[in-house]
Structure 1
Amino acid sequence: MSSPAISIILPVYNAAKYVGEAINSLLEQTFQDFELLIINDGSYDSSEEVVLSFIDSRITYVKNENNQGLVDTLNRGIELARGKYIVRMDADDICVPLRLEKQFTWLEKNLSTSVVSCHISFIDESGKVTGDWEEDVNTVSCREIKQKMAWANCIAHPTVMFRADLIKSYRYNQNQKNTEDYDLWLRLIADGAVIEKIPEKLLLYRVHEASITGTVLRKSNPFFKQFQCKKRFLLQRTMHGKWGLFESSVLLTTIFDGTMGIGKHIKAIVKD
């Protein structure tokens, strides 16, 4: 069996309401040489029924025995992927038809690029566009992304296309739950990887009550969340004897995040 050009990793966890639309948006891509790895991470709703209703030879359905969490599920998908490139996709988002074609072409033409992303539009539960992400819109070039990443994440996780050999050697860090993407960007950039962004909105990013963006990250102290992620990243760099200008920049912003996080926490206590 010949390998596809692209492997799409689509984790599913209780996403019956949206996963059909996500799958359709992938099957209707203008670029068709891909495999779609759908990994059911222990869903207890009707997600499996929705997924199995699609009959397409490019779909491979995998089922975790129980809920393993996003990081383990993504790493399992990376292990199974056979494509030259690996794409991330979430079960509640929608791809614009040209997404795969544009990202594939970008990586084929720009051999120094390790990861290519794109802009997003936020949508609500009904699919209505609700706005843009400022950090996303304002960062396109490798230089802009690197500068911003020292402070905060500026890439929507389900927008990326990786070179498969690269992501297979890095994988996601199990100790960075809910910030596994930001940790990965930091590690890649610190090692000199080129991350770029196509300045087009090629993904509709859904925010709803059950999504991570709509629950865990929104309700937590964002400064503490960034502080913990960066602290773990810097600890790993120190343990492996890797330290440069980028790590020094991240250290300074980590101190800033800790200070701001404490201030936000104190204000919340006083307010209560």
Structure 2
Amino acid sequence: MSLSQECQQPLVSVIIPTYNRPDYLKQAIASAIKQTYQNIEIIVSDNCSPENPQALVASFGDSRIRFWRHQQNVGMLANQQHGFKMARGKYVASLHDDDIWNEDFLAKLVPVLEANPELILAFCDQYIIDANGIIDNAGTEKNTRGYKRDQLKEGIYQPFCKVGLVDKSIPTAASCVIRNNLIDWDSIPPEVGGMWDLYLTYLCCISAYGAYYYPEKLTRYRAHEQTDTMLSGSRDVQAKIRKAKSEMFCYQAFMEDAQLQKFRTYFQQKWLEANTTLGIGLLRSKQIAVARPYFWQALTKQKFNARTLVALSLTFTPQFLANKLIELSK
């Protein structure tokens, strides 16, 4: 690519939030640098990792990289948002420190946005890889089908509330390019926690702009032992509690949005499911009295649900027996 061609391309800000994963971070940065679309800035925002990755970042010797290190751990969401707020590009794309982009990821999605000013984002499909970077073919196929990307045809979706918030086809945090000036990054509330990508999808959905689907697997999402959904023991319980609280906040907001009333029944069901999940997490962490109201709420606002009823019954079971049943259910 010539210098004149590069200068004609709009700047894309690649946001890489990171915490304590230097080996994976190195691969993520390398995949950003190797993009055939060259007019980019790479923002690495470190959440006060025990081992400062500044030397690793500097070792690439690439002037397009901007590094920021928080003096204390500010939490995953604040670290992610800080990267977005640093962005100077016309477009932004999030790249988690344990994920990888194909070399043509930006080259295929950015031109679509440039050609269609009525679009707020463009997204693609993704591979699932393991801790060693090996493609999990079965996991990839399950992921594509689970988020119904196998049913999407290439092209513009407008509106795209069902695609984004019901089918959840848009991997906003890993395989998406967004038009920067259309998002107020301060409008993402801290209560969304780990569901920030779903809430960002929501902001895009209600923008009145469209979304474009490019039906190729252009990124690689890593599923490994450090992924929140794959934690074990007490860390797993706390992760589930955090996720359930985030889901409850998001679905409550969606239910109350007049623009989304068509999907209110679906959002309410997801909100009730999150109530039960939160209650079970609290029950497993021995917070029985705190857990019980969430089960009652879920039962009184939906039809019979065996999962919720069984969980509620455990809150009235003698502690030693409840503990055994909870352990068996893990």
TM class, shorter-length = 0.7 to 0.9
> In the TM superposition, what are the counterparts of 1:137-148 in structure 2 within 5 Å?
137-138=149-150, 140=152, 142=157, 146-148=161-163
Alpha-carbon distance between aligned partners in 1 of 2:43 and 2:160, rounded to the nearest angstrom: 29
**1:74-109 superposed Cα distances (whole Å, 9 cap, x missing partner):** 221222111100111011111100001111111112
Pick the aligned partner of 1:6 from 1, 12, 26: 12
Change (3 A) 1:231 1:250: farther
Deviation at 1:38, TM superposition (A): 0.8
Alpha-carbon distance between aligned partners in 1 of 2:186 and 2:209, rounded to the nearest angstrom: 12
Alpha-carbon distance between aligned partners in 1 of 2:113 and 2:261, rounded to the nearest angstrom: 27
Deviation at 1:50, TM superposition (A): 1.8
Select between 166-175 and 40-49 the one with higher mean Cα deviation: 166-175
Pick the aligned partner of 1:32 from 25, 38, 53: 38
Alignment of 1:180 onto 2:180: no
SS at match of 1:251: helix
Change (3 A) 1:91 1:181: same
TM-score between both structures, scaled by the size of structure 1 = 0.83
Pick the aligned partner of 1:135 from 146, 157, 168: 146
Alignment of 1:195 onto 2:206: no
Select between 111-120 and 135-144 the one with higher mean Cα deviation: 135-144
Structure with greater helix percent: 2
Paired residue total: 269
Alignment of 1:69 onto 2:75: yes
Partner of 1:153: 168
Select between 192-201 and 56-65 the one with higher mean Cα deviation: 192-201
Alignment of 1:233 onto 2:244: no
Change (3 A) 1:187 1:159: same
Contact 1:94-1:205 within 8 A present in 2 as well: yes
Larger Rg: 2
Deviation at 1:181, TM superposition (A): 0.8
Contact 1:7-1:83 within 8 A present in 2 as well: yes
SS at match of 1:115: strand
SS at match of 2:126: strand
> In the TM superposition, what are the counterparts of 1:44-83 in structure 2 within 5 Å?
44-45=50-51, 47-83=53-89
SS at match of 2:184: helix
Aligned-pair Cα RMSD in Å: 3.3
The answer for unaligned runs of 5 or more in structure 1 is: none
**1:17-54 superposed Cα distances (whole Å, 9 cap, x missing partner):** 21111111111111000111111111113533322211
Contact 1:78-1:168 within 8 A present in 2 as well: no
The answer for unaligned runs of 5 or more in structure 2 is: 1-6, 278-294, 296-305, 312-324
Change (3 A) 1:79 1:54: same
Alpha-carbon distance between aligned partners in 2 of 1:143 and 1:6, rounded to the nearest angstrom: 23
Deviation at 1:68, TM superposition (A): 1.1
Partner of 1:113: 119
Partner of 1:210: 226
Contact 1:150-1:246 within 8 A present in 2 as well: no
Equivalent position amino acid for 2:11 in 1:
A
Contact 2:123-2:175 within 8 A present in 1 as well: yes
SS at match of 2:230: coil
Contact 1:16-1:46 within 8 A present in 2 as well: no
Alpha-carbon distance between aligned partners in 1 of 2:34 and 2:83, rounded to the nearest angstrom: 22
Alpha-carbon distance between aligned partners in 1 of 2:166 and 2:242, rounded to the nearest angstrom: 12
Amino-acid identity (%): 22
Alpha-carbon distance between aligned partners in 1 of 2:163 and 2:50, rounded to the nearest angstrom: 39
Deviation at 1:120, TM superposition (A): 0.7
Higher relative contact order (CA 8 A, sep 6+): 1
Equivalent position amino acid for 1:209 in 2:
E
Deviation at 1:70, TM superposition (A): 2.1
Alpha-carbon distance between aligned partners in 1 of 2:16 and 2:50, rounded to the nearest angstrom: 17
SS at match of 1:158: coil
